[in-house]
A and B are shown apart, each in its own frame.
Chain A
Amino acid sequence: MSQQIPPAAVLAEGMIAGDHWIQVQPEQIRATLSRLQAEGFTYFLFLTCVDHLATPLLQQPPQRFELVYQLRDLKQRREIRVRVFLPEERPEIASVQDIFAAANWDERETWDMFGIEFEGHPNLERILMPEDWIGHPLRRDFPVGGEPVDFSEDHETWQTAPPQA
């Protein structure tokens, strides 16, 4: 299938536990998803973010934030995962909610929880947290209880930056 996407766009491709994935450049996300949609991946499953802050992985991820788009082809019963890595300072990417309408709320949730900016989203505002909330709760440097917990198990990695008052 990857011959359909411009080969330069696919940075890496692989299988993990039976799940097929590709990695593309952030600038290529709209082109990639449009191509995949035209190939039959018409069903948008979810979009989410993974924060790789202070990861113990030996092979370090290229950037702190990893966006994951999961698509499904209902006819051929196959799925594909598209990965994009975004930098720590000012993570932003083009919105795909006009390609996949179902991505609308997922993009709002990812903004709410991780602070990823989606350019071109008509209504990028908090969806789960209160409107006046400060910080992005699912980032790994956001403490679990909202306040620092001393002597907890993963103290160094978890409680590095309490949210601004």
Chain B
Amino acid sequence: MSAPAGPMTEHVQGMTIQRSRLQGRDGDLLTVNFGPQHPSTHGVLRLIVDLEGEVIRGLKPVIGYLHTGIEKQMEALRWQQAVVLTDRHDYLSPPINNLAYALAVEKLLGVEAPPRAQVLRVIMSELTRLSSHVVWLGTSSLELGAMSAFMYGFREREKVMDLNEEISGFRMHTSYIRPGGVFADATPRFLEMLDAFIREMPRNVDEYENLLTRNPIWIARTKDIGHLTPEDAIRLAASGPMLRGSGINWDLRKDRPYSGYEKYDWEVAVENGCDCYARYLVRIREMRESVKILRQALDSLPPGPVNIDDRKILPPPREELETSMEAVIHHFKLATEGYSLPPGDVYVAVESGRGENGCYIVSDGTHKPRRAKFRSASFVNIQALEQLALGSMVADLIAVIGTADAVLGDVDR
């Protein structure tokens, strides 16, 4: 392939570059393999990059290295067993994956979780969003050479892990949110830890901002890099900070509210920069908004049960088994067969840290899914990489991959 004929100077990302500097050997394109085992690809993303000098002229993402067949495995599990698999596709936001699945099952069953469970779901979703964003912030800034933000980010992630452990017994794959409610009520210690976390988190976000927001190197590496116009964002169905960083005011928590998000007072973070820096600002602002939601949710946590009172869907409490024959029967039926969903299909989407995390389930009336499909934000956002990176310098590719914030488990499922 020969280099396209053109003028001697070229405008790339606002810079005027001498054409002679761009020439590869004999003007040919150089094809470079990037990944899959490369620390800055956020897992096992592989890119085949066509370079003309240092300018990217072609980019082909190759995915599937982390394909685990979650959708296939779900078809072999009962509706209530499949929750544990939903934890594992987007492994940086398990409770939000649980929530999408639980809401889909509940929608088809026609039931709604009790108020206390809904607030606990919001609390877990926002904690997850925070932990996902600090991991993004840490790893992306590390790739661009800012080491300290990584340390700061993982400090806070550890606290969210401790909160996960306190409420569900697990640090990562919590399986906390389940069809019909949540695994267990919040312990008093969890509420204390959460209160302390909410108090200190705004200061921590200030610290990240002190490190990066006005840092000239950070700005040089991210501003006007990875341009995505609003039209392209919709055309490529980008979601989450990719969409809001391009000036489109769309957040599922506001526009299609679920789990009582309409009750909280907060703002959607939208930036008009359309570049990596705008996506960074969106995530920083989202962290602050998440803290606001967490505070309101904790203060408004209503008393009451955390699971629906339907013995056909959730097993009876342990103590009832000793006195009630009916409870034993219900327990036996659920443990051996599970519950079945009415035939039909539903799609439910929730806003994860990465964007629209959707769950489409099809029931054929039996106790196992006929089909479960995850519309993962990472899969769709990675598809936009080519659009983002074409014409930019190879070093900027790292910033572009970083701000797309793909989790490869979510891409490959």
* A contacts, CB < 8 Å to B: 16-19, 42-46, 48, 50-52, 55-57, 68, 70, 74, 77, 79, 81, 100-102, 104-105, 113, 126-130, 137-138, 140, 142, 144, 154, 158
Contacts and interface: CB of A to CB of B under 8 A. Distances in A.
16 contacts: A16-B345, A45-B347, A45-B358, A46-B373, A48-B373, A50-B362, A55-B364, A56-B364, A56-B366, A57-B343, A68-B360, A70-B375, A102-B237, A127-B63, A128-B63, A154-B368
A17 B362 CA distance: 12
Interface in B340-385: 343-347, 349, 356, 358, 360, 362, 364-366, 368, 370-371, 373, 375, 379-380, 383
A130 B360 contact: no
A155 to B, nearest CB: 12
A137 to B, nearest CB: 6
A16 B368 CA distance: 19
Contact of B360 (A46, A102, A104, A128): A46
B399 interface: no
A45 B359 CA distance: 11
Contacts of A104: 383
Interface stretch (B69-77, B80-88, B287-295): B69-77
B64 interface: yes
Interface residues on B, range: 35 or more
Contacts of B71: 113, 138
Given A74-B250, A102-B235, A130-B64, A51 B371 contact: yes
Majority SS at the chain B contact face: mixed
A79 B358 CA distance: 13
Contacts of B380: 102, 105
A82 B370 CA distance: 18
Contacts of B373: 46, 48
Nearest to A133: B64
A50 B368 CA distance: 14
A85 to B, nearest CB: 14
B412 A128 contact: yes
A158 B75 CA distance: 10
B188 interface: no
A142 B236 CA distance: 32
Contacts, number: 97
Nearest to A139: B72
Nearest to B255: A77
B248 interface: yes
Given A17-B108, A102-B236, A102-B380, A144 B345 contact: no
A52 B413 CA distance: 22
B345 A137 contact: no
B343 A101 contact: no
Q: Closest 10 CB pairs between A and B?
A: A102-B237, A128-B64, A46-B375, A128-B67, A48-B373, A16-B344, A50-B371, A17-B346, A105-B383, A17-B107
Interface in B229-266: 234-237, 248, 250, 255-256
A105 B72 CA distance: 19
Given A17-B344, A74-B250, A48 B383 contact: no
Nearest to B69: A137
B51 to A, nearest CB: 21
B353 to A, nearest CB: 19
B325 to A, nearest CB: 27
Contact of A144 (B72, B360, B364, B412): B72
A2 to B, nearest CB: 19
Contacts of A137: 69, 72
A79 B347 contact: yes
A50 to B, nearest CB: 5
A104 B236 CA distance: 9
Nearest to A140: B75
B404 to A, nearest CB: 14
A128 B412 CA distance: 6
B110 interface: yes
A56 to B, nearest CB: 6
B341 to A, nearest CB: 10
Contacts of A140: 75
Contacts of A19: 345-347
B256 A45 contact: no
A57 B364 contact: yes
Given A46-B373, A142-B72, 7 more contacts: A52-B364, A55-B364, A57-B365, A74-B234, A104-B383, A137-B72, A144-B72
Given A16-B345, A77-B256, A127-B64, A55 B235 contact: no
A38 B237 CA distance: 16
